[in-house]
Amino acid sequence: MLFDSQDKLIAAKQGDENARGELLNRFRPYLNVIAQRMLDDRIQGRMDFSDVVQATFLEASRDFHSFRGDTVESFLAWLRNILKNNISTAHQEHLATQKRSARREVSIASPAGDNGSEVQLANMLPAETSTPSQRLMRDEAAVVLANCMEQIPDTQRDAIRMRYLEGMSLKEISQKMDKSEMAVAGLLKRGLQGLRDEMRAIQSTLSSLM
């Protein structure tokens, strides 16, 4: 997914506006996942996560000349920082005197027995203590995974997000989605299979290019 992002970044820094637009749009699904994870539920009736991402894209496009990095890793870090600032501002404006939801503070870990794409869902943000190469590999995996999530049905994507990013139980998800626990389990199963199929397709495409 990111094999030509570095070229796009170089072209964008040289003034190619089309390359800049394509580069930003390439990472929209990735920022969507992060925004959904970080935006407090109590303000989502007033502001949708996509609004925050769109504001981030407009700001990034406007201030692209101020970006001093020269790698995709540094560009993603720059985008994440803008997104975090916008989310923080939204929280301050809408929840000025309220405490952040306790659920946003819990550690997000994958349930026991999960592996592969499920585990990576809990690691969309690179650890500050990891090495540059480790952060780049995690960035690449997270962006690919986020783009794959865009290809599965909305209900499956929402169930996966709540289960593996927000750490919600089947009971909590069933209440949130107004579905039975069995129906939620079915959404998770089909969604995870869909993710695996999308990731295999990407791997196959990349292999054919090598």
For residue 138, pLDDT beyond 50:
yes
Judgement on whether residues 100 and 113 belong to the same structural domain of the protein = no
pLDDT of residue 192 exceeding 70, the answer is: yes
CA dist 27 and 175 (Å) reads 31
- Residues 161, 78, single domain; the answer is no
Helix (H) or strand (E) holding 26: helix 17-26
- CATH number, residue 71: 1.10.1740.10
Domain limit, last residue, from 105, 131, 161: 105
The mean per-residue pLDDT over the stretch 199-203 comes to 72
Question: In terms of domains, do 145 and 99 share one?
Answer: no
CA 114 – CA 58 distance, rounded (Å): 37
Q: Is the pLDDT confidence value at 49 over 90?
A: no
Instruction: Measure CA of the first residue to CA of the last residue in the chain; give whole Å.
Output: 13
Pick from 87, 105, 123: which residue ends a domain?
105
Residue 187 confidence (pLDDT) above 50: yes
Residue 9, pLDDT > 60, answer yes
Residue-averaged pLDDT of the chain: 76
Its sign, for the CA torsion 39, 149, 164, 107, is negative
